[in-house]
């Protein structure tokens, strides 16, 4: 993962729970890196360790941490650091989600060493859409759920995200139904 991801976790915990909380999370995780450089790739395990430690430290399930983080990623990291890019994604939530596959494929340009997941959309209805999430990484579906609900917030559109298909094996993928 790129440093920006770990930085986002750091920002999330610091702003919501304070500096000390972040220090304890870092201590618990055993991660000995003081400063994450945004466009420097780091080992995936660092991100997982931080998320797990945050779950322990804040006494909330890991799923909640990842979900929360997903929203944060959209509302803070995306909006503040890549505001222009996000705005170019679409005028409203539906348009953004329809553009999501192409949008995400373009992100590769920003991070050449990225192993980004792939998104597809289907069942596009007036008030709902199904987002297919293909990833080499396991266990990040809650993060994606958070991203999707974060997008709802970004576009001021209250959404319901349902995880309607759980990935069971390597070749499989997750499906989320986003309704608004």
Partner 1 sequence: MLFEFEDSQFNRIFPFYVLIGEDLKIISIGKTLTKVHPDFTGKYFAEAFQVKRPQIVVTDIKSLSDVIDQLVVLECIGSKISLRGQFEFNERSAQVLFIGSPWFGSMGQVVENNLKIKDFAFHDPLIDLLHVLKTQEISNDELKQLVNSFNRQKEELKKANKEIQDIALFPTQNPDPLIRVDRSGNILRLNPSAEKLNEFTFNHITYNRADFWKQLSASLDPNSEREVYEAESGGKVYSFVVKSIPDFGYYNIYGRDITKQKQDEERLIILSSIAAKNTHGVVIANNQGVVEWVNESFEKMSGYAAHELINLKPGKFLQGKDTDPETIRYISQQVRAGEPFRCEILNYNKIGTPYWVRILGQALKDEQGNVFKYFAIQEDVTEKKKTEEQLRQIETKFRVALEKIGDNVWEHDFKTGKTYFSKKINEFLGVDSQNAQLNDKLWWLSIHKEDLPLLIENDRRCRSGEIDSHSLEYRVVSADGTIRWVLDRGVVTEKDENGYPVRLIGTHTDITRIKETEMELATSLKQFKSLSENIPGVIYEYEFRKDGTEGFRYISSAIERIFGISSEEFFNFQKYIHEDDLPRIFEKNQKSKETLEPFYIEARLMIPGKGEVWHSVSSSFSYYSQEGAAVFIGFMLDINDRKKFEETLKANEEKFRNILANMNIGLIEVDKERKITYANKRFAEMINMPEDQIYGVDTLLYLAPQSRDLVDAKFPERQKGKSEGYEIQVNINGKKEWWFVSVAPKIDISGNFSGSTVICLDVSDRKDLEQQLIVAREKAEQLGKTKEIFLANMSHEIRTPMNAIIGMGNQLAKTELKGDQQMFLKTIQSAADNLLIIINDILDFSKIEAGRLELEYIGFEPREVVGQILRVMTYKAEEKGILLTNSLYDKRLASVLKGDPYRINQVLLNLVSNSIKFTEKGSVDILCEVIEDKPDSQKLRITVEDTGVGMDESFVNKIFEKFTQEYKSGSRRYGGTGLGMSISKDLIELMGGTIEVISQKGIGTKVFLTLELEKGVQSDLQDKNHVEIQNDFLKGKRIIVADDNDNNRLVASFILQNYGAEILEAGDGKKVVDLLMEADADLILMDIQMPVMNGIDATGWIRKSGNTIPIIALTANAIKGENEKCIAAGMNDYISKPFKEEDFLNTIAIWMNKSKNKVIESVTEPSKLVSTQKLYDLEKIIPFSRGNESFLKKMIKVFCDQTPAEVDEMVAAFNAQQFEKMGAIAHKIKPNIDNFNILLLAEDIRLVEKARKEKVDFQQLETAIENIKRVTSEVIESMKADYPE
Instruction: Determine if 85 is a binding residue for partner 1 (CB under 8 A).
Output: no
At 139, give phi and psi (nearest 5°). Answer: 85, 15
Beta carbon nearer to partner 1, 107 or 160: 107
Tell me which stretch binds partner 1 (CB under 8 A): 17-25, 32-40, 66-74, 157-165. Answer: 32-40
Instruction: Determine if 35 is a binding residue for partner 1 (CB under 8 A).
Output: yes
Beta carbon nearer to partner 1, 60 or 115: 115
Of positions 7, 28, 76, 106, contacts partner 1 by CB under 8 A: 106
> How far, in Å, CA of 67 to CA of 71, rounded?
7
Q: Is the dihedral of CA 105, 127, 73, 153 positive or negative?
A: positive
Instruction: Determine if 87 is a binding residue for partner 1 (CB under 8 A).
Output: no
> How far, in Å, CA of 67 to CA of 80, rounded?
19
Beta carbon nearer to partner 1, 76 or 132: 132
Instruction: Determine if 109 is a binding residue for partner 1 (CB under 8 A).
Output: yes
Residues from 115 through 144 that contact partner 1 (CB under 8 A): 118, 120, 134
* Three-class DSSP category at 133: strand
How far is CA 167 from its chain centroid?
Answer: 17
- Residue 162 tokens, joined: 């349902």
Of positions 18, 23, 30, 39, contacts partner 1 by CB under 8 A: 39
Q: Is the dihedral of CA 85, 86, 91, 93 positive or negative?
A: positive
């Amino acid at each position: 993962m790129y440093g920006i991801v770990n930085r986002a976790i750091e920002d999330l915990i610091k702003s919501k729970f304070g500096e000390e909380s972040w220090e304890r999370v870092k201590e618990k995780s055993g991660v000995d890196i003081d400063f994450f450089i945004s466009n420097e790739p780091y080992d995936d395990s660092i991100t997982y360790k931080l998320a797990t430690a945050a779950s322990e430290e804040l006494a909330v399930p890991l799923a909640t941490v990842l979900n929360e983080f997903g929203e944060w990623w959209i509302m803070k990291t995306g909006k503040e650091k890549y505001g222009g890019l996000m705005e170019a994604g679409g005028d409203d939530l539906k348009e953004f989600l329809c553009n999501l596959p192409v949008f995400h494929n373009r992100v590769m340009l920003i991070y050449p060493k990225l192993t980004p997941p792939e998104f597809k959309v289907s069942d596009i209805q007036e008030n709902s859409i199904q987002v297919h999430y293909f990833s080499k990484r396991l266990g990040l579906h809650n993060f994606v759920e958070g991203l999707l609900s974060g997008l709802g917030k970004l576009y001021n559109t209250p959404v319901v995200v349902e995880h309607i298909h759980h990935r069971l094996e390597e070749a499989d993928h997750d499906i989320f139904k986003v309704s608004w």
